[in-house]
Amino acid sequence: MCAVDNKKTVIPTRLIPGDTIGVVAPAGSFGMKAFYLGVSILKSMGFRISVSGDIFKKKGYLAGSDTHRAGVVNRLFADRTVKAVFCARGGFGSIRILPLLDFECIRENPKIFVGFSDISAILSVLYAKCGLATFHGPLVTSLADTDQETKTSMLSALSSGKQLKIRPAKGITIRAGNASGPVSGGNLNTLCHLIGTPFEPVYNGHILLLEDRGEPAYKIDRMLTQMKLAGCFDGLAGLALGSFKDCSISEDIFRIADNIFKKNPVPILAGFDAGHGARNITIPMGLKATLDADNHLLSYHKPATVPIS
């Protein structure tokens, strides 16, 4: 299992207007129109964008070879002029580059790293191997299809000194109670496939966020059951459910989650607008928060970024 190496979470430096965001494609290849629309949105927020031409490479359904994609990630972390790394697209491929990431370089050059879906594998591993707080948030190619609340949420998480309080607009209490711990997780399908690898996460004492897309109820049940049997939920502090776009009806998913945790009385709050929906709020990963399922609130104990020293 991939336990957190660092006892203390490393909080990255805050983004300010004029900072440079580097864009990487660690997974699937992507369409140019959606990509440049996303880049234009980031520029309109006051940031410079660094795009290396080699991220447009293709190898089948991937954005280039494993060595190439991992190399771009490593290069952007090593580049002191780049203050944040945003992912172009998810799809598939992140898990393939995990053994090729330069964790020593990343530890020495911690910075904001943003993505979701298949990128959950990298979010998880950067926290586990480097102690780095990461951000479950929009991809460059998804920015144009998101609403204003998504963009506002992202800026608040990355550029403000606020202690974030995230209240789902349509929160549903599946299991009452409250719990505190670092937030971890992401895409259910991706995290499930880390089981049995050297990069399998440890969720003991954590608040686990899960989301997915296009999965019927029986597959969600199967994945959660596999994680339960593998011991992933042992010692879990709480469960937060994001969006399950194009999956089975919400009531079926909530019933499955309630059944999976029937012998593990953790608070469960559903309805977070995090994932593949039109609204995809940014959720810091690796930072301590309190999940209050009764009052529909996830409140962080400190800001997700630190000011420039």
Strands (E), the chain: 20-24, 48-50, 82-87, 112-115, 134-136, 165-166, 172-175, 178-187, 207-213, 238-245, 268-270, 283-285, 288-292, 297-300
Looking at the fold, whether 59 and 171 belong to one and the same domain comes out as no
Catalytic residue among 211, 215, 243, 296: 211
Regarding whether 175 and 50 lie in a shared domain, the answer is no
The CB density around residue 65, as the number of other CB atoms within 10 Å, is: 13
Question: Quick one: pLDDT at residue 3?
Answer: 56
Catalytic (active site) residue 309:
no
| Rounded mean pLDDT for each run of 10 residues along the chain, 309 residues in total | 66 97 97 96 98 92 97 97 98 98 98 98 97 98 95 97 94 97 98 97 97 96 98 97 94 96 93 95 98 98 93
Q: What is the pLDDT of residue 6?
A: 46
Q: Are residues 169 and 134 in the same domain?
A: no
Residue 141, both tokens: 């190619």
> 14 lies in a domain?
no
HSE of 135, CA atoms in CB hemisphere, 13 A: 31
Q: 148, 173, 200: which is the final residue of a domain?
A: 148
Catalytic residue among 136, 193, 276, 296: 276
Nearest alpha carbon to residue 60 among 23, 101, 24, 93:
93
Both 217 and 97 in one domain: the answer is no
Question: What are the structure tokens assigned to 101, written together?
Answer: 């990431």
Same domain as 171, residue 74:
no
The residues near 262 (Cβ < 8 Å, ≥ 6 apart) are none
Is 10 a domain residue?
no
Backbone angles phi, psi at 249, to 5 degrees: -60, 145
User: Which helix (H) or strand (E) is 76 found in, with range?
Assistant: helix 66-78
174 & 243 share domain = yes
Mark whether 82 and 205 lie in a shared domain: no
Shared domain check, 123 and 72: yes
131 in the same domain as 170 = no
Number of CB atoms found within 10 A of residue 295's CB: 11
Instruction: End-to-end CA distance of the chain: give it in Å, rounded.
Output: 35
Q: Which domain holds residue 194?
A: 165-300
97 to each of 5, 75, 82, 235, how far by Cα in Å?
Answer: 19, 14, 21, 29
Residue 71 has, within 13 A of its CA and on its CB side, a CA count of 10
Q: Provide the β-strand partners of residue 180.
A: 290
214 is a domain residue: yes
Distances (CA, A) of 222 to 33, 217, 228, 283: 36, 9, 10, 26
C-alpha torsion 49→51→56→62, nearest 10: -70
Residue 263 is predicted with a pLDDT of 87
Judge if 204 and 294 occupy the same domain: yes
pLDDT given at position 5 = 46
The torsion of the CA quartet 126, 127, 130, 134, rounded to 10 degrees, works out to 70
CB atoms within 10 A of CB 78: 13
In a domain, 257, yes or no: yes
117 in active site: yes
Of the three residues 113, 148, 183, the one that is the final residue of a domain is: 148
Amino acid identity of residue 280, one-letter, is N
Assigned domain for 160 exists: no
CATH of the domain at 47: 3.40.50.10740
Asked whether residue 116 is assigned to any structural domain, the reply reads yes
> Does 154 map to a domain?
no
Is residue 156 assigned to a domain?
A: no
176 and 137 assigned to the same domain: no
Number of domains in the chain: 2
Residues 107 and 180 in one domain: no
pTM of the model: 0.96
- Name the domain boundary from 123, 148, 173: 148
d(CA 65, CA 69): 6
User: Can you give the CATH number for the domain in which 296 is found?
Assistant: 3.50.30.60
Q: What is the largest CA-CA distance in the chain?
A: 52
Residue 291 CA to its chain's centroid (Å): 17
